[in-house]
Amino acid sequence: MPPISKILIANRGEIALRVLRACKELGIASVAVHSTADADAMHVRLADESVCIGPPQSRDSYLNIHQIVAACEITGADAVHPGYGFLSENARFADILDAHGITFIGPTADHIRIMGDKITAKDTAKALGIPVVPGSAGEVLPENALQIAREIGFPVLIKATAGGGGRGMKIAKDESEVEEAVSTARSEALAAFGNDAVYMEKYLGKPRHIEVQVLGDGEGNAIHLGERDCSLQRRHQKVWEEANSPALNVEQRMKIGEICADAMRKLKYRGAGTIEFLYENGEFFFIEMNTRLQVEHPITEAITGIDLVHEQIRIASGGGLSVTQAEVVFSGHAIECRINAEDPRTFVPSPGTITHFHAPGGLGVRVDSGAYQGYKIPPYYDSLIGKLIVHGRTRVECMMRLRRVLDEFVIDGIKTTLPLFQDLISNQDIANGDYDIHWLEEYLARTAH
Ligand code: ADP
């Protein structure tokens, strides 16, 4: 692969800014793309060049492959960084860029395809030696569902093979619920993804969500950068993430990390990826792999000191990994709070103009955000407006710092999720690291007023 000289960032918001910063540090020219609604956005202001790619609706702009390829050709960009969301896990996009001689900063289209289909992903994971949730071998049909459910044991979860964002999932607690759960899951999956194929898994009662960050060079070298605990979720959306997981010790971390790195070596995986698990009673169960950078990647950067976007660009340029597994040093603890323009209790979106914006600072504090005073948040996109990442030598120090930093952060004019984090930082279960994937919803229900 030729070295990269100009990167087009096919995204918006904080992640576009994040990638832009890496380009600047590496001395690579950057091109921002934006919809008409984002003409004033920070990623557009800071990029070397920018191209308007269409009207506000994502399908006409940030998801418009032809416009993005045309923007590459107009600006002479020789590579595209897709960020997360939008086209980041679109195999067709990777194929089209390839056909145009433009480098896709990510894995091969084949690997995106394999991991994008959950049944194939699970089969692949299993074959690579990764532990998976007990479940159906392949697709579940209305006629074989009951038999399969009996073999797995109740409760079971019916999931869409094309799934994403927690849609198309249905629980069946006992035999009487199987038929209905399968047919609802199939019709939801068809409506959401245009594919009605579903599969079945054992439903785990009180798991944690723990995911492993991996990096591969595409030639059979791969490393892991430890795990992130993303158990604090609402409607399957992550809210607060930690590295390392309060639930794992060093041996457990290195064991699951090595299983994942080894699987990526066998797969000859290229780029950054995340292998997601549910973790219960000391056991890991693979649920899916994301073949892209994730929102919560900065907590891994905080504890390893490794810039994941630098690594992605280096790998895409053919430069391989900058570190070996033995050189990866884990240091301290990091927490990320997702700051959404939403009501902190109902999570109803709160777009509007930010009248006052003051970001905190100090040792161990990072704010990734495209927001600024006077910024008008457009109503067309997801409500994440920033991420607060705090690092400390220990989890206790990290929590103390986070409490101070939350007091300092001011965002006026719109509602944000900041007050929720101020509540959580004073909670005893959170202080103890004692929570599972249901904890946050139960807490919100318990403390609703
Ligand atoms: P999606 O791609 O739709 O996000 P995932 O497979 O990643 O689907 O699952 C999303 C979330 O659903 C998980 O983080 C977890 O909270 C829950 N979940 C998924 N599979 C199971 C299972 N077998 N048992 C219990 N909860 C599950």
Q: Are 69 and 45 in contact (CB under 8 A)?
A: no
Look at residue 166 in the predicted model and tell me its pLDDT.
76
Look at residue 441 in the predicted model and tell me its pLDDT.
96
Among 169, 230, 275, the mutation site with the greatest number of ligand 1 atoms within 8 A of its Cβ is 169
Among 198, 233, 236, the mutation site with the greatest number of ligand 1 atoms within 8 A of its Cβ is 236
Nearest ligand 1 atom to alpha carbon 201? 23
> In sequence order, what are the residues at sequence separation of 6 or more whose Cβ sits closer than 8 angstroms to the Cβ of residue 346?
none
Cα(88) to ligand 1 centroid in Å equals 20
Of 65, 69, 61, which Cα lies nearest the Cα of 90? 65
Q: Are 159 and 169 in contact (CB under 8 A)?
A: yes
Alpha helices, DSSP H, located in 369-416: 395-408
**Strand 170-172 to 79-81 pairing:** unpaired
CB under 6 Å to ligand 1: residues?
A: 133, 157, 163-166, 201-204, 207, 209, 236, 276, 278, 287-288, 437
Domains of the chain: 6-90 (3.40.50.20), 134-202 (3.30.1490.20), 208-447 (3.30.470.20)
Buried b (16+ CB within 10 A) or exposed e, 18-56: bbbbbbeebebbbbbbbbebbeebbbbebbebbbbbbee
As a whole number of angstroms, the distance between CA 228 and CA 198 comes to: 28
Q: Are 414 and 338 in contact (CB under 8 A)?
A: no
Q: Which residue shows structure tokens 């009487």?
A: 176
Q: Are 406 and 50 in contact (CB under 8 A)?
A: no
pLDDT tens-digit readout, 426-445: 999 999 999 999 999 999 99
As a whole number of angstroms, the distance between CA 425 and CA 408 comes to: 14
Structure tokens at 320: 């391989």
Look at residue 432 in the predicted model and tell me its pLDDT.
98
As a whole number of angstroms, the distance between CA 36 and CA 14 comes to: 17
Q: Which residues are catalytic?
A: 292
> In sequence order, what are the residues at sequence separation of 6 or more whose Cβ sits closer than 8 angstroms to the Cβ of residue 56?
35, 36, 37, 378, 380
The torsion angle over the Cα atoms of residues 302, 310, 16 and 300, rounded to 10 degrees, is: -20
Cα(167) to ligand 1 centroid in Å equals 10
Nearest ligand 1 atom to alpha carbon 209? 14
Report the predicted TM-score, pTM, of the whole model to 2 decimal places: 0.96
Q: List, edge to edge, every strand of the sheet that includes 29-35.
A: 49-54, 29-35, 6-9, 79-81, 103-104
Cα(203) to ligand 1 centroid in Å equals 9
pLDDT tens-digit readout, 264-300: 999 999 999 999 999 999 999 999 999 999 999 999 9
As a whole number of angstroms, the distance between CA 172 and CA 146 comes to: 10
Look at residue 310 in the predicted model and tell me its pLDDT.
98
Q: Are 80 and 68 in contact (CB under 8 A)?
A: yes
Residue bearing the CA closest to ligand 1, atom 9: 166
Look at residue 2 in the predicted model and tell me its pLDDT.
58
As a whole number of angstroms, the distance between CA 384 and CA 402 comes to: 19
The rounded average pLDDT for each run of 10 residues, N- to C-terminus, in the chain (449 residues) is 88 98 98 98 98 98 98 98 97 98 98 97 97 95 96 96 85 96 94 93 96 98 98 94 97 97 98 98 97 98 98 98 98 98 93 96 98 96 97 98 98 97 98 98 92
